[in-house]
Structure 1
């Protein structure tokens, strides 16, 4: 069974990126879905960011199987910077991407088959969708009941 409570370590990022990560954690931890995502330096799952070659915004790479699955999250600052035109928009896109990738840690899939708005859709407006939406919350609750 997947878990709503887990820890993630931050790797090789500066204090601004730690703040982005903490905002993503807070977005899920305060969403009313029972999530308890912690930052812990000894955790196996990891979060990092860099200016990677590639056109993706974020990558979630799971390893192992449940209940001992781990993962690595990478956020691509280069692509986000390329596709935004202001620091305000950049910050919003980063928060949207971080929260989206942490949604995978809660067992949510990309591009859910729904007509409802979702943080997990690649087509979302990253400037306005930075927190879990009603559909995302209902899916986490469904998975864990």
Structure 2
């Protein structure tokens, strides 16, 4: 099975967004997994923060193609995210970590009593990086 290393197109936002988005990428890179996410202008994968009116989601992962050549787009809904002023930076980080989890084959709302970044409604003020369950899931999938 392919290693979970990939690149995303560089993004350039103001410091309110740039820092939390970069922390999301690096939080996967520092976990005890084989994950390594980099930025490259030639990457097929993209992450965009923009306003998407009329929808309720905070982040959206969209895969294109099939493995092993699959690539993805991640959209962060700045319209909905910016309504949350309570730990805004952690919320942006949590949403992007969650969406990147999909690129690593993690599913929404896993059936577990353990904390997972993939669980909807996780308190973003406390849990905004991959949790042990997520780390184990990635290691099991790619191990």
What TM-score do you get using the length of structure 1 for normalisation?
0.90
Please give the per-residue CA displacement for 1:116-144, whole angstroms capped at 9, x wherever unaligned.
11001112111111111110000000001
Which residue is 2:78 aligned to?
Answer: 77
Question: What is the rounded CA distance, in whole Å, between the counterparts of 1:47 and 1:76 in structure 2?
Answer: 11
Structure 1: stretches of 5+ with no match in the other structure:
none
User: Could you tell me whether the CA contact under 8 Å between 2:20 and 2:90 is conserved in 1?
Assistant: no
Q: Secondary structure at the match of 1:10?
A: coil
Query: For 1:113 and 1:2, how far apart are their aligned partners in 2?
Result: 25
Name the residue aligned to 2:65: 64
Out of 130, 133, 141, the position equivalent to 1:132 is 130
Q: CA 1:105/1:7 → structure 2, altered by over 3 Å: closer, same or farther?
A: same
4+ long deviations beyond 6 Å = none
Counterpart in 1 of 2:56?
Answer: 55
Corresponding pairs, count: 141
Structure 2-normalised TM-score?
0.91
Distance (whole Å) between structure 2 residues aligned to residue 121 and residue 47 of structure 1:
21
Q: What is the alpha-carbon distance in structure 2 between the residues aligned to residue 144 and residue 75 of structure 1?
A: 26
1:10, 1:48 within 8 Å by CA — same for their partners in 2?
Answer: no
RMSD: 1.4
Contact 1:56–1:76 (8 Å) recurs in 2: yes
Unaligned runs of 5+ in 2: none
- 1-10 or 114-123, larger mean C-alpha shift: 1-10
Of residues 135, 139, 142, the one that matches 2:140 is: 142
Query: For residues 10 and 74 of structure 1, do their structure 2 counterparts lie closer, same or farther at Cα, with a shift above 3 Å needed?
Result: farther
1:34 maps to: 34
